[in-house]
Each structure stands twice: as C-alpha cells, then as structure tokens.
Amino acid sequence: EFVVYVLQRFFSMSSDQATAIMLNVHQRGVGVCGVYSYEVAEAKATQVMDYARQNEHPLQLQIEKD
C-alpha cells in the first residue's frame, strides 16, 4: 500500500496504474515511474526518498538515463 500511495502522490498515477507498477516491481524487481528531465527526476527522487525515510520504509529508487 505504501508504494501505491507514493506512486499516486508523487507521480500522479491512478490507483490502477500504481497497482500495476507495484506488482511489476514485486514480480520483476524493477519498474518505471515515468520519463522526466533530469532535474525533475532528481527532485522527485529526493521527495520520495525523504518521504520513505520519514515513514521508515525501505523503498529504493534509481534515476536512469533513457
């Protein structure tokens, strides 16, 4: 539920979109949250990681170039 909430809050996904990505990550170990400019991706990553730490959640994410 935490991951779905994060995807909805920080990446503006619907519940169905967020659930599909969460399941993909659970099954394959990776998923794509979106394609952004480096600056936007970096800002979103910082926001998400800060939120995960505040909630003591071991969420991990990575920014990759396309």
Helices (H), the chain: 2-11, 15-28, 38-54
Number of domains the chain is built from: 1
Instruction: Assign 66 a pLDDT band (cuts: 50, 70, 90).
Output: confident
For the chain, what is the mean pLDDT?
A: 96
Domain range for 32 is: 2-54
- Whole-number pLDDT of residue 25: 93
What's the pLDDT tens digit per position in 28-42?
999 999 999 999 999
Q: Find the farthest-apart pair of alpha carbons in the chain and give their distance in angstroms, rounded.
A: 30
Is residue 6's pLDDT more than 90?
yes
In a domain, 11, yes or no: yes
In a domain, 31, yes or no: yes
Is residue 54's pLDDT more than 90?
yes
What's the predicted TM-score (pTM) here?
A: 0.90
**Cα distance between residue 66 and residue 58, in whole Å:** 25
